[in-house]
Structure 1
Amino acid sequence: MTSTGKPRPIDFGFQVARIARRLRQAVDAELRVLGLTEATWRPLVYVGRLGEGVRQKELAAALGIEGPSLVRLLDGLERRGLIERRETDADRRARGIYLTPAGRDLEKRAARTSGAIQRRMLAAIAPADLAACERAFRTIEQALDDVEQAVRPWEKGSDAQ
């Protein structure tokens, strides 16, 4: 804390990371009974959110992990019969990710469980406070995008090289 009682920016980042970690741990504990871990439920839920046929590159970006790490996760999910990777019509080199019926069932259960935990976690927060928090997070994300673009202008669709 600063002398004004406001949290230091670094404290804010640590607090956000701690809350995210604790939320994932709570979901993990609930989903362990289904044989799922964070490494398995998150990709399933994200495929459900992003849509069938999502490309591996898009899924890796959404999950915030590198491509090779995602490939290992997908290999395990495919061995368990939860996903299929298929060539896409538009680009035969790209592979779309599809949930199998078993994968879709687990994805729905995981999404319901994580949603229920989030609702319990946020129940005591006034709607106006939650809306302000969401606005602040969007502003922070935009600022991070701007910093990232300034540091690596060749990424994120920039023409600069």
Structure 2
Amino acid sequence: MTTHQLDKHRFAMQLSQLSRAWRAELDRRLVGLGLSQARWLVLLHLSRFAAPPTQRELAQSVGVEGPTLARLLDSLEAQGLVSRLAVEEDRRAKKISLRPKAKPLIDQIETISTQLREELFSGIDADDLDCCLRVHAQILCNLERR
């Protein structure tokens, strides 16, 4: 294996470890909110839509299958955090909206995740971050072409 091949292998391994460790740390910090990682992730994604998405759009955004999201939405709905509304044009589709009770929770999630991000990016130069963003964007582009 060439040095370049080894570097690509190490990069892939580090990226995987970074993603897993970052989520685990955020999950550890959010445990006091009484939400599983899957639930707070759905709330965050939902909060970033300009208008209530369909269940399908939300599933794509979160990166989960429809049945998995349906179970998560059942529990979030039972907690009074989200609601499902029928789409007039297609009665089978449902739009998902946040309930007022979710807003303070999302604010806490955002505050905690912003603090973690600040800690994790400490000591990282803006030029290095820009380079990393370009590399990740190219990898994502390559993946999308598959």
Distance verdict in 2 for CA 1:75–1:117, change over 3 Å: same
Q: Which runs of 4+ in 1 moved over 2 A?
A: 2-14, 88-93
- Where do residues 45-84 of structure 1 align in structure 2 (5 Å cutoff)? 45-84=44-83
**What is the aligned partner in structure 1 of residue 103 from structure 2?**
104
**2:88, 2:119 → 1: CA distance?**
42
Task: State the 1:92 CA deviation.
Answer: 3.0
Give the TM-score of the pair, scaled to structure 1: 0.83
**1:51, 1:105 → 2: CA distance?**
18
Deviation track 1:13-57 (CA, whole Å, cap 9, x = no partner) reads: 222121111111111111111112211110000001123411111
Identity of aligned residues (%): 33
1:133 aligns with 2:123: no
**What is the aligned partner in structure 1 of residue 11 from structure 2?**
12
**What is the aligned partner in structure 2 of residue 21 from structure 1?**
20
1:52, 1:99 within 8 Å by CA — same for their partners in 2?
no
Q: SS of the counterpart of 1:54?
A: coil
Which segment is superposed worse, 14-23 or 125-134? 14-23
Which segment is superposed worse, 85-94 or 119-128? 85-94
Structural RMSD (CA): 1.7
Which segment is superposed worse, 3-12 or 103-112? 3-12
Distance verdict in 2 for CA 1:7–1:112, change over 3 Å: farther
1:45, 1:107 within 8 Å by CA — same for their partners in 2?
yes
**1:52, 1:108 → 2: CA distance?**
18
Give the TM-score of the pair, scaled to structure 2: 0.90
Give the letter aligned to residue 83 of structure 1: V
**2:94, 2:9 → 1: CA distance?**
39
Extract unaligned runs of 5+ from structure 1.
148-161
Task: State the 1:73 CA deviation.
Answer: 0.7
Task: State the 1:134 CA deviation.
Answer: 0.8
